[in-house]
Amino acid sequence: MQTLLEKHWHHLPREEVLDLLDTNPDKGLDRFEAEDRRQNFGPNALTRRKGQGPLLRFLLQFHQALVYILLAAVVIKVMLGAWVDAGVIFGVVLLNSIIGFVQEGKALSALEALSRALTTEATVVRAGEKQRIDARGLVPGDIVLLASGDKVPADLRLLHSRNLQIDESALTGESQPVEKRPAALNHDTTLADRANMAYSSTLVTYGTGMGVVVATGDDTEIGRISELIAGAEVLATPLTRKIARFSHLLLYAILGLAAMTFLVGLWHGDSWIDLFMAAVALSVAMIPEGLPAVLTITLAIGVARMAKCNAIIRHLPAVETLGSTTVICTDKTGTLTRNEMTVQQLWAGEENVAVSGVGYAPEGGLQQDGQALDSHDNVALAELLRAGLLCNDAVLKQDAEGWKIEGDPTEGALLVTACKAGLDRQQVQASCPRLDAIPFESQHQYMATLHGGDCRVVYLKGSVESLLVRCDTLLGAAGESRPLDSDVVHAQVEMMAGQGQRVLAFARLTVPPDTTTIDHPDVARGLVFIGLQGMIDPPREEAVRAVRACQAAGIRVKMITGDHAVTAAAIAARIGLDNTLAEGEIPKVLSGRELEAMPDAELIMVATGTAVFARVTPEQKLRLVEALQVHGEVVAMTGDGVNDAPALRRADIGVAMGITGTEVSKEAADMVLTDDNFASIEAAVEEGRGVFDNLIKFLTWILPTNAGQGLVIIAAVMASQPLPVLPVQALWINMTTAVLLGLALAFEPREAGIMRRPPRTPGTALLSGELIFRIVLVGLLLLAGAFGLFEWALQQGASEAEARTIAVNVFAVGQSFYLLNCRSLRVSMFRLGVFSNLWIWGGIAAMTVAQLLFTYVPLMNRLFHTAPIGITDWLHILAVGLVIYLVIGVEKTLRRQREMSIGTR
């Protein structure tokens, strides 16, 4: 029977399904058969897959080139006897590894969240008796009964249904509860259109049904999504990829220079011991020990800032990845839209009426030709609103969190519209109490209610087709009856549907005063057609603004939804997803069926040029994300459903919704929006760009220190001179400047116009050519200043300790002045505001105190082999720092003028 699980159950007739599963719809399976199948198929639960153990995952945190450099530094410090320094560096490495280990553990818990998604109990028929059992005990062939409020316990092929509606939004992205019918469907019917199937973990919102279990555990649709998540490769982020490349280059450069220095020294005839110490000093000097700590802290600061923008970051590198994003793939329902059905157009008395306001809050009104309209001015309009209010089972409530609907969202939208027009539900219901009702059934496609009061009347609402055949006349604006022209009605319906609206028709029938019950034959003919109400799940206003802001920043936004193509296109047009089209123009939509038939090579090109994808399955969402990545895009994927989880995990950054999002999607994502608002992504992208800017500023600032120290040591070896900077002094410079000075750049405010830049091109180097030139230039200035003053001091009769103290202070002071240059890589700090980042001045003050202690405290003199220096020496040191600031200021000005001249050509 195991092979039966691969059958297309939606395509098979009811009798064949029961025959294949060898079960009886009235009696179900007997206890012995159920137990036998449980042994064969296993429990109805997702298998927990064994991954890397905790120890291995922790050890893998050390498997990075930059970490290897730092571990080498630890070994070198130990060799030098600097145990405290070695402990500090190893502590930084250990802390970074622990943070990465914890974050990765949270991400991998997505599979556990999927396991929890299965229901705990189910109502089944076994041995002819109805009973409640643990859902984990379900087996293929079990007969399951469904009722409103139930979570579907396994994949079912429906056998019977009565007004059954199931919310499948978490699985398919369909915004409305789906009507279910047991009739067999075509073989190629997509997942979202399989009306005769009920899938595990979806929610029954209305009606009752009975189905036979066709798949359990890993074989269910949600089980297949579990496989997709487990198999989805987690990509390195742009930042980690670039840092890894940079670390490898740095490692090779350090080893190469150390070897070259050693060989040159041998050629000069220096001793092996002195050359080994010089090579060690060079390695220590050129390793940026503070880089991992500052990198982690800068990202953590970005996390804290994003939290204030309602964006919770689960993985630190995701902060920077947002700033690199070139494409945002977003779900529609609840992300771009409000997930609150809203009536936006009425048609009554052959007149169109607009309804203002969105969502469930009864705020807004009726408008015609831009003017406010009283519903009493149009008898047909008043009757249309009255019918929508009375032929309705939903309840509109207000609580501390706002207005909410209990019941069907479509009926809720009708209630809200009636309230906007000034109707009081309790008053209307009291004057026209309900006496009887015909509930909605899929085969009839309408609902009818009988009301008493001054006049017995029956109101119907349903599909246009089901009501038109029962109507003879049309209610006019003045209350008169007119001949019904079906073509006019159909034309109006097509116009409203073309705007993505779901259209409901309304009719009435006056009945004798003694009527107390109604049935289908009573409303078969002779009705008066009242009008139409068109509704849609409207886009969030802030989402529209956010999409435009993203587009201005060079980021393309694509909608990938499980909803219908017409609805998706209408929402996309309102939001302006395809900014190559005129305002309001409907964009092209690619369906899931078209995607399925498309080869990978074609999909890569189509995915880039298409803005809207509809009726898309989880596998296709994942495939689209992969296609965009192959094209070189940095992809952010937003979503809230179980169906979004695989793509969220595969994307460069997954963004889940915090309020409506499932636990599965949150666990698979890198970032969670606490307000479910697409607009929060814009703020997060801006923050991400700011974080990356600050990281580049830090690298541009810190590398000249390492380069300058390395050049000073190389110059000394070449000239057969004493080392101007000892290894322990190099360590002091690297650690104190990185923490006290460099960390201040992490607090630098975002520069103006950051969201008017295009995204960084994927694959570009971490540092541009102009920044490398600047790093080399500052490194040479530090070399000239430090080595020059070191030699000058020796010639003036100073001791080596005093000369080295001067050289070390040249690096500290020079980097303090250069820090002011690095507040912006383009403009002067005076353009930014001298005191717009007080952390800079605090850092310089702290560095000044540290250097005074380094120079004049006897204990520090013994530890670091330094000696006190005079005021004249300090003046020379300050002059070097000032020269560095002025030279870089001039370089930035010249470069900016050159760019302006090129731009005006």
Query: Of 798, 774, 617, which is closest to residue 724 (Cα–Cα)?
Result: 798
E-assigned strand segments in 620-673: 635-639, 653-657, 671-673
Q: Is 159 helix (H, G, I), strand (E, B) or coil?
A: strand
Query: Of 177, 161, 162, 251, which is closest to residue 212 (Cα–Cα)?
Result: 161
Phi-psi region of 107 (alpha: psi -120 to 50; beta: other; left: phi over 0): alpha
The CB density around residue 776, as the number of other CB atoms within 10 Å, is: 15
Q: Is 266 helix (H, G, I), strand (E, B) or coil?
A: helix
What is the per-residue DSSP string for 54-67? HHHHHHHTT-SHHH
What is the C-alpha separation between 635 and 322, in angstroms, rounded? 9
Element (H, E) at 630: helix 618-630
What is the per-residue DSSP string for 500-534? T-EEEEEEEEE--TT-----GGGGSS-EEEEEEEE
- Output the CA–CA distances (angstroms, integers) from residue 687 to 271, 299, 674, 681, 683, in the order listed: 53, 10, 16, 10, 6
Phi-psi region of 602 (alpha: psi -120 to 50; beta: other; left: phi over 0): alpha
What is the C-alpha separation between 567 and 576, in angstroms, rounded? 14
The one catalytic residue in 150, 155, 218, 331 is: 331
What is the C-alpha separation between 813 and 881, in angstroms, rounded? 6
210 strand-pairing partners? 145, 160
760 strand-pairing partners? none
What is the C-alpha separation between 328 and 558, in angstroms, rounded? 6
Active site residue 600: no
- Spacing of C-alpha 324 from chain mean position: 14
- Output the CA–CA distances (angstroms, integers) from residue 308 to 304, 311, 690, in the order listed: 7, 7, 15
What is the C-alpha separation between 764 and 632, in angstroms, rounded? 11
Angle at 566 between CA 562 and CA 569, to 5 degrees: 85
Give residues with Cβ within 8 angstroms of 191, minimum separation 6: 171, 172, 221, 617
What is the C-alpha separation between 695 and 742, in angstroms, rounded? 10
E-assigned strand segments in 763-811: none
Query: Of 537, 559, 561, which is closest to residue 615 (Cα–Cα)?
Result: 561
Q: Is 203 helix (H, G, I), strand (E, B) or coil?
A: strand
Q: Which residues are catalytic?
A: 331
